[in-house]
Amino acid sequence: MLFIFCNVPEGQHIVIISVVSRAPAAPDDLPPPPPPPPRDPCDPEPGAPAAPAQESAVGQALLRSAPSAGGDVKELSADVCGFCRKTVPLSEPAIEALNRTYHAACFQCRQCHAPLAAKIYYNKSGTPLCDDCYQASLEPCWACGDVIKDHVIRALERAYHPPCFVCTTCRQPIGEQRFAQGEVGEVYCLQDYYRKYAPQCHVCGELIIPREDGTDSYTVECLGHSYHEDCYRCEVCSVLLSPEPNESGCHPLDGQILCKPCHVSLMQSAPH
Other C-beta atoms within 10 Å of 250: how many? 26
Which residues, at least 6 apart from 40, have a Cβ–Cβ distance to it below 8 Å? none
Which is it for strands 179-181 and 187-189: parallel, antiparallel or unpaired?
antiparallel
| Euclidean distance between CA atoms 257 and 233, whole angstroms | 7
Which among 266, 272, 270, 271 is positioned nearest to 235, based on CA atoms? Answer: 266
| Euclidean distance between CA atoms 37 and 225, whole angstroms | 58
| Euclidean distance between CA atoms 177 and 257, whole angstroms | 39
Q: What ranges in the chain are assigned the alpha helix state H?
A: 131-137, 190-197, 260-269
All structural domains of the chain, each given as residue ranges with its CATH number in brackets, are: 1-17+165-230 (2.10.110), 24-137 (2.10.110.10), 233-272 (no CATH)
pTM for this model (two decimals) = 0.49
Mean pLDDT by 10 residues, the chain (272 residues): 34 31 37 41 35 43 55 57 86 81 87 85 82 87 88 88 93 88 88 90 89 76 89 92 86 90 87 70
Which residues, at least 6 apart from 119, have a Cβ–Cβ distance to it below 8 Å? 60, 61, 130
Q: pLDDT tens digits for 80-99?
A: 888 888 888 887 888 888 77
Other C-beta atoms within 10 Å of 67: how many? 12
- Dihedral sign of CA atoms 91, 95, 100, 105 in order: negative
Q: pLDDT tens digits for 213-237?
A: 667 778 888 888 999 988 999 999 9
Residue 163 Ramachandran class (φ > 0 left, ψ -120 to 50 alpha, else beta)? alpha
- Dihedral sign of CA atoms 111, 122, 62, 87 in order: negative
